[in-house]
Amino acid sequence: MTALPLSPSRPLQIALVGNPNCGKTTLFNALTGLRHKVGNYAGVTVEKKEGRLLLPNGDEANLIDLPGLYSLTPHSPDELIAHDVLLGLRSDTPPPDVVLNIVDASNLDRNLYLTTQLLDLGVPVVVVLTMTDVLKKYGQTADTETLSL
């Protein structure tokens, strides 16, 4: 594994990216201790939200909860926010050092299109599967070995 090049002048920038309603804000709240609004419908997060995350080594990271999007081609103002943060086009937000791609395991076909685009950005991407309880309810599991290839 390659160490990330970090600047001592700013914390690690971690972006939470995924389709609408895949669990990004729920994970953001769990990691930061904040309580941003979550909902079971698209469009709950319409702007970026930021919070601090204490890493195991004692360093701080800046966690960025981005609005949901289906691809890196924006079709709405909130998708444009996510697009611009990911591509480093916003003066108020450094580009992410790492992308946590939040993927709804119960709808992989729809979610993995964005994953392929994120991998092309050249930024480390970690895929986080959510909604695995929904799969389990129907007697299914996600093949994480195949997904990791």
* CATH number of the domain enclosing 88: 3.40.50.300
> Is 5 inside any structural domain?
no
Q: Is residue 34 part of a domain?
A: yes
Long-range contacts of 115-121 (CB under 8 A, 24+ apart): 117/71, 117/72, 118/17, 118/72, 118/86, 121/86, 121/87
The domain total for the chain is 1
Residue 42 belongs to what domain range?
12-147
Characterize 61-99 residue by residue with b for buried, 16 or more Cβ atoms within 10 angstroms of its Cβ, and e for exposed.
bbbbbbbbbbebebeeebbebbbbbbeeeeeebbebbeb
In the chain, the amino acid numbered 30 is A
- Amino acid 1: pLDDT: 46
Tell me, yes or no, whether 2 lies in a domain: no
Write down the pLDDT at residue 39: 52
Per-residue pLDDT for the chain (149 aa), expressed as one digit of tens each? 455 555 567 899 999 999 999 999 999 999 998 775 655 445 544 688 999 999 999 999 999 999 999 999 999 998 999 999 999 999 999 999 999 999 999 999 999 999 999 999 999 999 999 999 988 998 998 888 888 86
Q: Which pLDDT does position 3 carry in this prediction?
A: 54
How far, in Å, CA of 25 to CA of 44, rounded? Answer: 9
Q: Which amino acid is at 128?
A: V
| Residue 113 within any structural domain of the chain | yes
Assigned domain for 6 exists = no
| Residues in the chain, overall count | 149
The pLDDT value given to residue 37: 60
d(CA 81, CA 74): 9
